[in-house]
Amino acid sequence: MSGHLSIVGIGPGPLNQITPEAEAALAHAHALYGYGPYLERIPIRPGQSRHASDNREEAERAVAALRRASEGDRVAIMSGGDAGVFAMAAAVCAEIEAGPPAWRALEIAIVPGITAMLAVAARVGAPLGHDFCAISLSDNLKPWDLIERRLDAAANAGFVIALYNPVSRARPWQLGKAFERLRAHLPDATPVIFGRAVGRPDERVSVTTISQADPIGADMATLVIVGSAQTRVIDRPGRTPLVYTPRINQTASA
């Protein structure tokens, strides 16, 4: 019997931001693999086994799930947000590429989810309304100088930039350095959005400028969106401002 492996994005936080397709994939699995706190968000189903692991154990989790699926089981691996954005789907693909031929015969379904940058953007308006890119500030898997080159290139090309993994306990200085780098390319008033734990009870969202952005405002659960020179802020009496990047962009310069 050929096994089945779903790699499922469960959205940024609340279960009302999980898609019906993702919900069904989790409900039909015999075995669920995921980071402990994500597993806790999913209702327990009789007969379903659960395998919690640490956030840093992506490769081990991928191998365990692939082994289980190749025994003929229906298996689901969960990721926060979208499974293909800085998450498990790429880890599983890497293990399939390096692993035994039998893993290539498995049925694999990748089920998309709402990624953090979309959830954060939606809280403030439409900062991703025009061309944008996403960069992970984690230098665990790539060198810091490559990240700096990408920040320079993205800011120079006029992209709005979503920064995933801005800080962690082991990476305290990277976001400050990234802001410093971006200030060299962007006007002082360029909007910067901090979106923390969006969709969860401890959510916090704030809007500032690149000249005032303070890395202290970010932690591991924060996504930072740095606007382009085109990004605008609409102040509204008694309400949070709206931030957007217009779709019309006819100037040659970024």
Q: Which DSSP category does 185 fall into?
A: T
Residue 221 CA to residue 229 CA, distance in Å, equals 26
Q: Are 236 and 243 in contact, with CB atoms under 8 Å apart?
A: no
Among 75, 78, 120, 186, which residue sits at the site for ligand SAH (rule: CB under 6 A)? 120
Asked if 178 is part of the footprint of ligand SAH (rule: CB under 6 A), the reply reads: no
Among 112, 199, 215, 227, which residue sits at the site for ligand SAH (rule: CB under 6 A)? 199
Asked if 80 is part of the footprint of ligand SAH (rule: CB under 6 A), the reply reads: yes
Nearer to ligand SAH, 140 or 212 (CB): 140
Asked if 225 is part of the footprint of ligand SAH (rule: CB under 6 A), the reply reads: no
Nearer to ligand SAH, 186 or 223 (CB): 223
Nearer to ligand SAH, 155 or 197 (CB): 197
Region binding ligand SAH by CB under 6 A among candidate stretches 112-120, 121-129, 145-153, 227-235: 112-120
Q: Are 198 and 205 in contact, with CB atoms under 8 Å apart?
A: yes
Could you give the C-alpha distances from 113 to 101, 194, 195, in angstroms and in order?
Answer: 29, 21, 18
Among 161, 99, 97, 82, residue whose Cα is nearest residue 127:
161
Among 5, 7, 8, 12, which residue sits at the site for ligand SAH (rule: CB under 6 A)? 12
| Residue 170 C-beta: closest distance to ligand SAH, Å | 13
Region binding ligand SAH by CB under 6 A among candidate stretches 45-53, 69-77, 174-182, 194-202: 194-202
User: Quick one: 239 exposed, middle or buried, by C-beta within 10 A (0-12, 13-18, 19+)?
Assistant: exposed
Nearer to ligand SAH, 199 or 227 (CB): 199
Residues 154-173 that bind ligand SAH (CB under 6 A): 164-166
Count residues binding ligand SAH (CB under 6 A): 25
| Residue 235 C-beta: closest distance to ligand SAH, Å | 24
Asked if 222 is part of the footprint of ligand SAH (rule: CB under 6 A), the reply reads: yes
User: Quick one: 167 exposed, middle or buried, by C-beta within 10 A (0-12, 13-18, 19+)?
Assistant: buried
Asked if 85 is part of the footprint of ligand SAH (rule: CB under 6 A), the reply reads: yes
Q: Which DSSP category does 104 fall into?
A: G
Residue 31 CA to residue 154 CA, distance in Å, equals 41
Asked if 129 is part of the footprint of ligand SAH (rule: CB under 6 A), the reply reads: no
Nearer to ligand SAH, 3 or 224 (CB): 224
What percentage of the chain's residues is helix, strand, coil (to nearest 5)?
Answer: 30, 30, 40
Residue 38 CA to residue 69 CA, distance in Å, equals 20
3-state secondary structure (DSSP) of residue 123: helix
By CB under 6 A, name the binding residues for ligand SAH. 12-13, 79-82, 85-87, 115-116, 120, 164-166, 195-200, 220-223
